[in-house]
Amino acid sequence: MNSYSRLLYFVRPYYKRMIFAIICMIIAAAAYLVVPWLIKNVVDEVLEDKNIFMLNLIVGAIVLIFLVRGFATYGQTYNMSYIGQRVIIDVREAIFKHLQRLSLSYFDRRKTGVIMSNLTNDVAALQSAVVDNLISFITESVTLIGSLVSMFLIDWKLTLVTFTTVPVVLVIINVFGKRLRLAGHDVQGRIADITALLQEIISAIRVVKSFAREDFEVKRFEAENKRNFNAVIKATKLTSLLSPMVEFSAAIAVAVILWYGGYSVVTGTITAGSLIAFLIYAINLSNPVKRLSQVYGNIQKALAAADRVFEILDTKTEVKERENAKVLPDIKGDVEFKHVHFSYDGDKQALQDFNLSVHAGESVALVGPSGAGKTTLANLLPRFYDVTGGAITIDGVDIKDVTFKSLRNQIGLVPQETVLFNATIKENILYGRLDATDEEVYEAARAANVLEFTDKMTDGLHTVVGERGSSLSGGQRQRVAIARAILKNPKILILDEATSALDTESEKLVQEALERLMEGRTAFVIAHRLSTIQNAHQIVVLNQGQLVEKGTHQELLALEEGLYNHLYSVQFSNKG
């Protein structure tokens, strides 16, 4: 029950409400336990002695008891629901905070839809474990214990007879509990698969429609949905089998009680009222056992979700900030790669003994075939990944020795696939520096040629861009991203294929914005269009993770057998 105890750790901040709720549960259960004693008195005293005063007293007591029980039930339900909702919020926030701290490699290995399912479906499944099942567990446990004590007080011999079925019930619950836990894992996994598939298909809906693959995707979804159905039915079958098996064991116990108790009444060992009360307690005993078996099964299924949640919380980040990491002061922008090695999987080398010195304010173009290691270099500089050998320094300081925030605050990234948030253009630009003034946002928009299109919009900079910037063109999205980088005002820039997917007119406007952005900054430009990097201070040619050529555009063109000359010739001969 390690997962459950960890889950209850989230309840600790609300222990006062929990204590009050538990008291209410005990009162509600105890009130129910008093009723059989009252019924015993009705049979043994009221009916036998025709005692009207005792009848009135018992009826009044029953009304009062159920009034108290009603208030107690309200107290337990409201407070447990409050605690349950707070725990769900706290768990979800804890997962989200932890996800923010995890390395990019974690997200590279997992589907977005599965992570979304962890945050939504898995966390929601925990609520039943915290609220409904915990209420049932405490209430039924009190009823169970109270019924047992009352039964011993009425007739201890009859109580011992009842216990003959307990070992059988415990074995049944244990066997089914293990199977339900496994079935619960399968169900949560299938739900995550459906979420992942939905996210994948919906995010690529244009591709689906362009290839007329709607029917194909429907079949994929139906197959996933069927697998989910089969997993749920398997879990349901186990749950459905558990209850009747426990009920059958309880029925045998009741049959034994009826025979032995009836015999005892006939022989005068106990009174009829005692037998009726004992039977009610026996039923009270069987019901909690049955319900507790259901609760146990439900908790096992919920803990399958808890296991998935805690798996995320237990995941260690691969790129860690050192405990004594210092704040990187304002930098000039000198960057040096010293014998850098890197591997994504620990086997194949993405970079091998890479060496490069870049002075502040220089622009460096990174070129080479796909998979040469260009994007890897861009990921290593802001420490999205850590080098597996060698070191990277900025102004002579190893980037491993400084805090993430102070490092990344001084590096700007403009990726090929621009990601904008479903907010206004102004808010997307403000993401670069949240405390910027309206004037600074306006100037960044002007420098990035954003005003060229926002001035024609009804809402201007306050236009909502839609999900991932869907209401803007590729060039417009890219200019907003550049404005965001300008507002951040970093000393080091990484431009990853920033103009590769643009038409000629958009490329011209974006290129103008990029040139303004690069002024006075150290810039690393990854580009396939070699026409855009001819003025770079250095052009670094990579192939299979190694630096094979370095120089200016003219120097590299002079190497007739060189890779850069080949790439340039192929690109411009294709244009011709």
pLDDT tens digits, residue range 142-201?
A: 777 877 787 788 777 777 776 666 666 667 766 776 777 677 777 777 877 887 787 777
Q: Between 480 and 467, whose confidence is greater?
A: 480
Q: Between 357 and 51, whose confidence is greater?
A: 357
Q: How confident is the model at residue 124 (pLDDT cuts 50, 70, 90)?
A: confident
Q: Which helix (H) or strand (E) holds 278?
A: helix 272-313
Q: What pLDDT score was predicted for residue 475?
A: 81
Which of the given ranges, 94-98, 284-288, 509-513, has the highest pLDDT on average? Answer: 94-98
Q: What pLDDT score was predicted for residue 498?
A: 64
Mean pLDDT for 530-557 is: 86
Q: How confident is the model at residue 402 (pLDDT cuts 50, 70, 90)?
A: very high
In-domain check, residue 135: yes
Q: Which domain holds residue 163?
A: 2-189+238-313
Phi then psi for residue 547, to 5 deg, are -80, 115
DSSP summary character for residue 326: B
Mean pLDDT for 318-346 is: 90
Mean pLDDT for 460-487 is: 85
Q: How confident is the model at residue 412 (pLDDT cuts 50, 70, 90)?
A: confident
In-domain check, residue 491: no
- Number of domains observed in the structure of the chain: 1
In-domain check, residue 45: yes
Mean pLDDT for 470-497 is: 85
In-domain check, residue 22: yes
Q: Between 135 and 77, whose confidence is greater?
A: 77
**Percent above pLDDT 90 for the chain:** 12
pLDDT at 19 over 80: yes
The rounded distance, in Å, linking the Cα atoms of 146 and 139 is: 11
How many of the other CB atoms lie within 10 Å of CB of 345? 8
Spatial CB neighbours of 198, under 8 Å, sequence gap ≥ 6: 113, 221
Give the β-pairing of 363-367 and 522-526. parallel
pLDDT at 298 over 50: yes
Q: Which long-range contacts (C-beta less than 8 Å, at least 24 apart) are formed by 230-237? A: 231/183, 231/186, 231/187, 231/189, 231/190, 232/187, 232/190, 234/183, 234/186, 235/180, 235/183, 235/184, 235/186, 235/187, 235/301
In-domain check, residue 561: no
Q: How confident is the model at residue 576 (pLDDT cuts 50, 70, 90)?
A: very low
Phi then psi for residue 540, to 5 deg, are -105, 125
Q: How confident is the model at residue 529 (pLDDT cuts 50, 70, 90)?
A: confident
pLDDT at 353 over 50: yes
DSSP letters for 403-456: -HHHHHTTEEEE-SS----SSBHHHHHHTT-TT--HHHHHHHHHHTT-HHHHTT
Q: What pLDDT score was predicted for residue 269?
A: 74
Tokens at 139, concatenated:
């209430």
The residue type at 46: V
Strand partners, 495: 414, 525
Q: What is the CATH number of the domain that holds 57?
A: 1.20.1560.10
Q: Is 240 exposed, middle or buried (0-12, 13-18, 19+ CB in 10 A)?
A: exposed
Per residue in 81-114, pLDDT tens? 888 888 888 888 888 898 888 888 888 888 777 8
The residue type at 55: L
Q: What pLDDT score was predicted for residue 270?
A: 74
The residue type at 243: S
CB 515 within 8 A of CB 414: no
**Percent above pLDDT 70 for the chain:** 87
Q: Residues 180-217, buried b or exposed e (16+ Cβ, 10 A)?
A: bbebbbbbbbbbbbbbbbebebeeeeeeeeeeeeeeeb
Tokens at 377, concatenated:
């270099």
In-domain check, residue 288: yes
pLDDT at 400 over 90: yes
In-domain check, residue 223: no
Tokens at 6, concatenated:
């960890």
Q: What pLDDT score was predicted for residue 394?
A: 93
Q: Between 358 and 306, whose confidence is greater?
A: 358
Residues in the chain: 576
Q: How confident is the model at residue 244 (pLDDT cuts 50, 70, 90)?
A: confident
The rounded distance, in Å, linking the Cα atoms of 90 and 10 is: 7
pLDDT at 501 over 60: no
Mean pLDDT for 39-64 is: 72
DSSP letters for 51-78: -HHHHHHHHHHHHHHHHHHHHHHHHHHH
The rounded distance, in Å, linking the Cα atoms of 76 and 82 is: 10
Q: What pLDDT score was predicted for residue 164?
A: 66
Q: What pLDDT score was predicted for residue 134?
A: 72
Tokens at 353, concatenated:
């003994």
Percent helix, strand, coil in the chain, to 5, is 65, 10, 20
Q: How confident is the model at residue 46 (pLDDT cuts 50, 70, 90)?
A: low
Q: Between 348 and 182, whose confidence is greater?
A: 348
CA separation, residue 419 to residues 48, 203, 320, 415, 469 (Å):
84, 13, 26, 8, 7
Q: What pLDDT score was predicted for residue 415?
A: 79
The rounded distance, in Å, linking the Cα atoms of 514 and 96 is: 34
Question: Is the dihedral angle over the CA atoms 373, 379, 383, 384 positive or is it negative?
Answer: negative
In-domain check, residue 293: yes
Mean pLDDT rounded to a whole number for the chain: 81
Q: What pLDDT score was predicted for residue 41?
A: 66
